[in-house]
Structure 1
């Protein structure tokens, strides 16, 4: 259950409308790292969290706050679009609002599709996509993705801050910058808590016993002359366990497998020199065909 109050979390009052800026502003609402993404990402992680108590509550608290951020941004966008299409200096466009919008850099869909309101799109008009969100069920992996999302979102907000001198817009963006700063820290502290509570190592290490132990401490450098070995990532103790990092310079292949593919299914009509012998149905295309036919035969047999 969610609760809603009429007041915004923070005011969204531009000093004056600016349809051109509104088109740019769409990025931090419906872009890959916009507020819609973190809202859905955190809520989905919270809905699926199998750790009742402080972890689930923390995720849901932040996700619910992000709903408030989406509401703030959509309100700001609608107010920036007040009176749109914006005026342009081209007198020839004055009689054609859509043409004026294009020449002035405004997104015409703000007027045509959304009736002067915000849209669930990025700054180029591309619709928000659910594939942007990360919700794996593994809290360590998810919290790391959340730090990235907040860092990217904050960076884009910071860039937009520099694209306006409107004091009302800047006031709200200052608030958003502050919250993104804190949310990065919240997720990093969440990772610390996972480690302290014994639920995770510093990195994701499931099935650690199945790893090829020869290669779980090595910096593999296939670039001759690489200076990567000078960094901390290529020397000293590992972050997990008591091992030492090994730097492998000018690293060689670990196999003589050249990746030659098998002969193609003749039904796929691939270009082929015959070097792997004749192809036969049963390779990818033929296999699919045979599997489908087998299923049909089974259904027929059952009906008979």
Structure 2
């Protein structure tokens, strides 16, 4: 149940009307990072939260506050539009001052909103529910909330420097402060989720053994910029490896033969390419003797030197086997092949002298 109080959270009264600035303020109402977005984002996060207690209460307290922020901004927009041209457009444009106002204002505020705010951004684009992030995972949601509040505060700060009106500035000073504390609270809530043992650094805390172990600790240098590897993220304990010359791991990205009824352009000469795509790198590049293969056999993950009949070592988890297999391949300077449970090659990487380690 929601109960409305006929008082604004903070005063929203400009010193004088300004139709052009009223249009600009629409971004803080119905833009992608406006107050309507965080209102609905927090409401749905609260409704989707399956745990009663401190986290749900924090979300709902903030969601309800954001409803009040929409009301403040809508009130400010209506007051900024006071006296703006509505039914006398023809007469208005004869006055240079009024013509300038009309040229800068959002005419839909007059035509559709009757001189009031709209659920739209500063270009009149309607607010979209797709802006809302409410996944049910509190770590993922709280991180999205930090980003939303950061973008909202950034836009508020920019708009603050676009007006000299004392009344507008006073309201925006309040909004800036609330955006500040909301960033602080979501950051603190993220730390508390981890302290309570509900989440760790990565969201979600699942499927770590199933994910592709070869690629969960590397950054691919895929732009001309040479300095990415100089960041702290690629050094120290637990640092991420920066691949300076990564190579494509898949085959050609050719689409399959189209349905004849769709009349896509296609020739029979492409059939051979379709076969090449279907078989992928596994058949195109055979596994050489001496390479290290990680595979699932008889309930365990094992590393075997290709060409050998016996496994070099066995592990309970895929992650441990892949780590050991990579070490073996790096030491021998050979290729490391990781097979899926079905025996098909899932990943392969060379560690020869002409390849980046």
TM-score (norm 1): 0.83
* CA shift for structure 1 position 29: 0.5
> Equivalent residue for 1:298?
none
> 253, 269, 285: which one pairs with 1:275?
269
> Equivalent residue for 2:117?
118
Report the Cα distance in structure 1 between the residues aligned to 2:47 and 2:224, rounded to whole angstroms.
48
Local SS of the residue matching 1:247: strand
Local SS of the residue matching 1:13: coil
| Deviation by residue 1:2-59 (Cα, 9 ceiling, x = unmatched) | 1221111000010001001101110000100000000000001001101111111110
Bigger mean CA deviation after superposition, 191-200 or 268-277 = 268-277
1:101/1:44 Cα in 2 relative to 1: closer, same or farther (>3 Å)? farther
| Deviation by residue 1:230-274 (Cα, 9 ceiling, x = unmatched) | 001222233xxxxx422211111223x112221111001001122
* CA shift for structure 1 position 165: 0.2
Q: May I ask how many residue pairs the two structures share in their alignment?
A: 268
- More relative contact order, 1 or 2 (CA 8 Å, 6+ apart): 1
Matched, 1:246 2:241: yes
1:12/1:203 Cα in 2 relative to 1: closer, same or farther (>3 Å)? same
CA contact (8 A) 1:102 1:108 kept: no
> Equivalent residue for 1:182?
181
> Equivalent residue for 1:201?
200
Report the Cα distance in structure 1 between the residues aligned to 2:75 and 2:92, rounded to whole angstroms.
32
Matched, 1:264 2:258: yes
> Equivalent residue for 2:304?
none
Local SS of the residue matching 1:144: helix
CA contact (8 A) 2:119 2:126 kept: yes
| Higher-helix-fraction structure | 1
Report the Cα distance in structure 2 between the residues aligned to 1:249 and 1:101, rounded to whole angstroms.
55
1:198/1:65 Cα in 2 relative to 1: closer, same or farther (>3 Å)? same
Report the Cα distance in structure 1 between the residues aligned to 2:129 and 2:68, rounded to whole angstroms.
19
CA contact (8 A) 1:45 1:135 kept: yes
> Equivalent residue for 1:296?
none
Q: How does 1:125-274 map to 2 (within 5 A)?
A: 125-204=124-203, 205-223=205-223, 226-238=226-238, 244-255=239-250, 257-274=251-268
> Equivalent residue for 1:65?
65
**C-alpha root-mean-square deviation of aligned residues, in Å?**
2.3
Q: Looking at CA atoms only, which structure, 1 or 2, has the larger radius of gyration?
A: 2
Gaps of 5+ in 2: 273-357
CA contact (8 A) 1:33 1:153 kept: yes
| Higher-strand-fraction structure | 2
CA contact (8 A) 1:26 1:121 kept: yes
* CA shift for structure 1 position 92: 7.8
Local SS of the residue matching 1:207: coil
Gaps of 5+ in 1: 239-243, 279-304
Report the Cα distance in structure 2 between the residues aligned to 1:223 and 1:168, rounded to whole angstroms.
47
Report the Cα distance in structure 2 between the residues aligned to 1:95 and 1:113, rounded to whole angstroms.
24
1:96/1:221 Cα in 2 relative to 1: closer, same or farther (>3 Å)? closer
